[in-house]
Structure 1
Amino acid sequence: MATQLSNPYRGFRFQLEISGIQVAAFSEATIPDSTIETVEYREGTDPVYKRSLSGLSTYGKLSLKKGLTDSMELYNWHQLVAAQGSTAKGAQKNISLILLDAGGAAKARWNVINAWPSKYESTGLNAASSDVMVETFELTIEYMTRVT
Structure 2
Amino acid sequence: MPLPELDSSVGHSFGLEFDSVLIKQITEVSGLKMEQDVIELKQNTADGKYAIKKLPGRPKAGEVTVTRGLTEDNSFERWIKDSRFGKMTNARRNGSIIVYDYEGVPIKRYKLINAWPKSLEISTLKAGDTSVLTEKLAITYESVEVD
RMSD of aligned Cα (Å): 2.1
Matches within 5 A, 1:41-120: 41-43=41-43, 47=48, 48-84=50-86, 88-120=88-120
Indicate the residue corresponding to 1:28 in structure 2: 28
Separation (CA, whole Å) in 1 of partners of 2:55 and 2:130: 53
- Superposed CA deviations along residues 7-29 of structure 1, whole A, max 9, x for unmatched, are 21101011111116553221111
Larger proportion of strand = 2
Does the 8 A contact of 2:40 with 2:53 survive in 1?
A: yes
Q: Percent identity?
A: 23
User: Are 2:16 and 1:37 equivalent residues in the alignment?
Assistant: no
Tell me the distance in 2 between the aligned counterparts of 1:23 and 1:41: 45
* Equivalent pair of 1:59/1:141 in contact (CA under 8 Å): yes
Name the TM-score, length of structure 2 as normaliser.
0.85
- Is the contact made by 2:36 and 2:56 (CA closer than 8 Å) also made in structure 1? yes
Kept after mapping to 2: 8 A contact 1:33/1:59? no
SS in 2 for 1:32: coil
Worse overlay, 35-44 or 100-109: 35-44
Q: TM-score normalized by structure 1?
A: 0.85
The alignment covers a number of residue pairs equal to: 142
In structure 2, stretches of 5+ residues that fail to align are none
Give distance in 1, aligned partners of 2:13 and 2:44.
54
- Which one-letter code corresponds to 1:19 in the other structure? D
